[in-house]
Amino acid sequence: MSEALDRLRLALREGVAPRVGAYDEQGVLPSEVVRTIAEVGGFGHTLPVAIGGQGLTARELGHAHALVGATCASLRAVLTVHAMTSAAIARWGSSAQRSEWLPSLARGERTAAFALTEPGAGADPSALSTTAVRASSGLVLNGQKSWVTNGQRADVFLVFARLEAEPIAVLLERSAPGLTITPIAPPLGLRAGMHAELRLESCVVPESALIGRPGAGLSWVAQHALDLGRLLVAWGCVGLTGACLRLAQDHARARRSGEGVLFDHALVRQRLARMASGLEGSRLICEEASRLRDEGHPHAIGQTLLAKYHASLAASEASASAVQLLGAAGTASLADAQRHFRDAQIMEIIEGPTPVLESELASHLSIWSEP
């Protein structure tokens, strides 16, 4: 474990951190960054060693995503969607699909994306309206997908549609006829996430591209991927929150104010204490979610919801505090604090917006309420 993390830490420090502000400003994650992370195994963290992956436990995987999240949330988002689709293939794909895709996905030679959201179906995937129809050539897909992170670069998309009424998941290759990929202009946060919109116009995939059987697309394939996605977003938030605390603390100790430094002020100390409390709460909930997941415990799913909920709120609060404490310097172009602040806003929306998570969490209360 420590070796994979050490390699990742070094790659992030030398190959990503020096230009992370430019990636954000320009809204582009250069292909060299993808190669740098692929070389240290970052695209195969979730996949088994036997097929060229790193075989990390959920705990190790979490720590890796916290490292990435502390440096570049856009890269973290790309790795997360790649991991989600890889995991769906590994768990529910056929043996032919696994041998076709997993070795190159593990090495990062090809990358994946997750195409669930539609213009009319965001937080509620059951509103899905992309259609699939059986024809002699295979399945014919029609519809539109939005906010597909890594969509500008991905070689393969896990696309969700309805075959008659039944939700399905299919692997769609970038080269498929009828697929048009349009880059989305860099949004508020995760600007270098290479987001794209997909238009599927009589786009044909063979029946063998189905992941799982018809009917399983949302309840099992999408939810399995989203469950992993929530864990990785949560751990990414732990990294981001830790980065904000370090920025704020360093600034408060160094910045002269009256006779002393900012750190001497009770209100500044209160903010820093709240950031530390939010960070440690998030970290412990994430650790427990990872532990339950490694055990195959059914409570892992509910604990992961709590992890994403808590960690994204803590990241939002801590990043806002960091901007305020750093003052003008925190708001400057290319400053880390303002980037973390914008990224944290998106963390509260992706893989389940806060109000949706609250509603879902209320279905899992027995995990925490039972004596």
Partner 1 sequence: MNEASQRSPEQILRAFLARHVPAALESEEDFFARGYVSSLFALQLVVFVEKQFGITVEPEDLSLDNFRSIGAMERFVARKRGVAP
* Binding region for partner 1 (CB under 8 A): 92-94, 125-126, 211-213, 215-216, 218-221, 223-224, 227, 295-298, 300-302, 305, 360, 363, 366, 370
CB hemisphere CA count around 343 (13 angstroms): 38
CB of 108 to partner 1, least distance (A): 25
Residue 366's CB: how many other CB atoms inside 10 A?
A: 9
CB of 215 to partner 1, least distance (A): 6
Rounded-to-5 percentages of helix, strand, coil across the chain: 60, 15, 25
Is there a contact between 57 and 1 (Cβ–Cβ < 8 Å)?
A: yes
DSSP per-residue codes, 15-45: HTGGGHHHHHHHT---HHHHHHHHHTTGGGT
CB of 305 to partner 1, least distance (A): 8
Contacts of 140 (CB under 8 A, 6+ apart): 132, 133, 134, 202, 203, 204
CB of 94 to partner 1, least distance (A): 7
Nearer to partner 1, 92 or 263 (CB): 92
Convert 75-120 into a string of H (helix), E (strand) and C (coil). Answer: HHHHHHHHHHHHHHHHHHCCHHHHHHHHHHHHHCCCCEEEECCECC
| DSSP bridge partners of 141 | 132, 203
**Eight-state DSSP code of residue 47:** S
Question: 3-state DSSP call for residue 134?
Answer: strand
CB of 44 to partner 1, least distance (A): 22
CB of 220 to partner 1, least distance (A): 5
Nearer to partner 1, 142 or 223 (CB): 223
Nearer to partner 1, 39 or 166 (CB): 166
CB of 17 to partner 1, least distance (A): 36
Residue 185's CB: how many other CB atoms inside 10 A?
A: 7
Cα 83 from Cα 77, distance rounded (Å) = 10
| DSSP bridge partners of 133 | 140
CB of 295 to partner 1, least distance (A): 8
CB of 255 to partner 1, least distance (A): 46
Nearer to partner 1, 44 or 125 (CB): 125
Nearer to partner 1, 11 or 218 (CB): 218
What token pair was written down for 70? Answer: 């502390």
Nearer to partner 1, 239 or 302 (CB): 302
Nearer to partner 1, 125 or 186 (CB): 125
Core vs surface per residue 165-181: b (16+ CB within 10 A) or e: eebbbbbbebebeebeb
Nearer to partner 1, 218 or 315 (CB): 218
Nearer to partner 1, 164 or 295 (CB): 295
